[in-house]
């Protein structure tokens, strides 16, 4: 898998990916899901397990539940040994060791795949330039820049429902400005040929460079959700907002919350997605987020399968 990166051992962003490669990855992921949609593991159905003898380290310098544990399970199911890096008990936190030195030391112990989350945009790309040529690096989210595997698992979830991307009308609602997920989703949906992608947010929650994405912007749910058949809600990332921005947030739920009421603007068969973590009662109500049209937990399950396919591909490259 090559993204903006030219090195096929890395997955750093959606930029530079080819549609055919993404669709091939989706096909590969399907072998890890049963017809019921449940994961096939605990043990990889492939013999020998593709990552037998490989050591994968997850290095998360920002909190995570879904991405970190999903990668750790994916690697385990493929037969890898998984090292869970703990920042608080590492030499970085108390002894000022740099992350680059940490990567080099772990490589010296045999680690050949890193999944990294970092709070600085593009930091994972820079780290990927500093590892051994036979080490794979996956971006588990870098600041507001990119979260490629989230966008891949989201589009994989849509593809499993209907592989004809030309039929989707996707509305992404919420804090687009601070969302690496939204940026990667906008790129992935465009790459896969979704003709109608909308973002719905107040002006202060739109990125300044939104014009570079192939999307239409709306500042209200009634117009933005009109006949949409996919609604993706996003969390307000208050931890990334300035005090001035926080002060002008107002009642987001009142104006932009996805509820049974506001969903009436969308297509009656619209599916509901969210990358998590969800703040019920803010960007979405729990009856919608946990209702019959919700794909939220299916996204999580599909993420393990997608990440299994990705890790298998990167490590063998
Ligand atoms: N979707 C997502 O990135 O969730 P985590 O922050 O829990 O990994």
Which tens digit of pLDDT belongs to each residue from 106-131?
999 999 999 999 999 999 999 999 99
Residues 6 or more apart whose CB falls under 8 angstroms from that of 310 comprise 1, 11, 25, 74, 138, 149, 152
Q: Which residues of 125-137 are buried (b: 16+ CB within 10 A; e: fewer)?
A: bebbeebeeebbb
Q: Tokens representing 283? A: 């960007």
Residues 185-216: tens digit of each pLDDT:
999 999 999 999 999 999 999 999 999 999 99
Q: How do the residues of the chain divide into helix, strand and coil, expressed in percent and rounded to 5?
A: 40, 15, 45
Residues 60 and 109: their CA atoms lie apart, in Å, by: 19
Residue 48 CA to ligand 1 center (angstroms) comes to 30
Cα–ligand 1 centroid distance for 163 (angstroms) = 25
DSSP state of 36: T
Query: Could you tell me the distance, in angstroms and rounded to a whole number, from the CA of residue 4 to the centre of ligand 1?
Result: 22
User: Taking CB atoms and a 6 Å cutoff, what residues make up the pocket around ligand 1?
Assistant: 64-67, 141, 147, 150, 275-277
On average, the pLDDT of the chain sits at: 94
Residues 35-46 have a mean pLDDT of: 79
The answer, yes or no, to whether residue 283 has pLDDT greater than 80, is: yes
Q: Are 256 and 214 in contact (CB under 8 A)?
A: no
pLDDT at 312 over 50: yes
Predicted confidence (pLDDT) per residue in 57-77, tens digit:
999 999 999 999 999 999 999
Q: How confident is the model at residue 246 (pLDDT cuts 50, 70, 90)?
A: confident
Q: Which of 62, 116, 138, 141 to mutate to test the pocket of ligand 1 (most atoms within 8 A of CB)?
A: 141
């Amino acid at each position: 898998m090559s993204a903006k990166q030219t090195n096929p051992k890395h997955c750093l962003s959606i930029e530079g990916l080819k549609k055919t490669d993404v669709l091939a990855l989706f096909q590969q992921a399907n072998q890890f899901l049963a017809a019921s949609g449940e994961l096939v593991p605990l043990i990889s159905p492939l013999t020998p397990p593709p990552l037998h003898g490989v050591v994968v380290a997850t290095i998360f310098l920002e909190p995570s539940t879904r991405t970190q544990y999903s990668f750790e399970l994916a690697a385990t199911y493929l037969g890898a040994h998984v090292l869970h890096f703990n920042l608080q008990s590492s030499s970085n936190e108390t002894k000022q060791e740099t992350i680059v030195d940490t990567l080099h030391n772990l490589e010296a112990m045999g680690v050949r795949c890193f999944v990294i989350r970092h709070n600085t945009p593009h930091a994972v790309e820079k780290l990927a330039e500093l590892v051994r040529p036979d080490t794979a690096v996956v971006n588990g989210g870098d600041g507001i820049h990119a979260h490629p595997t989230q966008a891949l698992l989201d589009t994989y979830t849509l593809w499993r429902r209907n592989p004809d991307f030309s039929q989707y009308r996707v509305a992404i609602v919420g804090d687009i400005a601070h969302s690496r997920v939204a940026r990667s989703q906008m790129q992935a949906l465009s790459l896969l040929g979704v003709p109608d992608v909308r973002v719905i947010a107040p002006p202060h929650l739109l990125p300044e460079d939104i014009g570079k994405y192939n999307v239409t912007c709306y500042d209200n749910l009634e117009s933005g959700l009109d006949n949409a058949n996919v609604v993706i809600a996003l969390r307000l990332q208050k931890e990334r907002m300035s005090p001035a921005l926080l002060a002008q947030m107002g009642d987001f739920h009142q104006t932009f919350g996805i509820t049974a009421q506001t969903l009436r603007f969308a297509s009656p068969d619209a599916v509901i997605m969210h990358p998590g973590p969800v703040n019920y009662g803010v960007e979405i109500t729990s009856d919608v987020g946990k209702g019959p049209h919700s794909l939220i937990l299916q996204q999580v399950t599909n993420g393990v399968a997608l990440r299994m396919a990705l890790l298998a591909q990167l490590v063998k490259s």
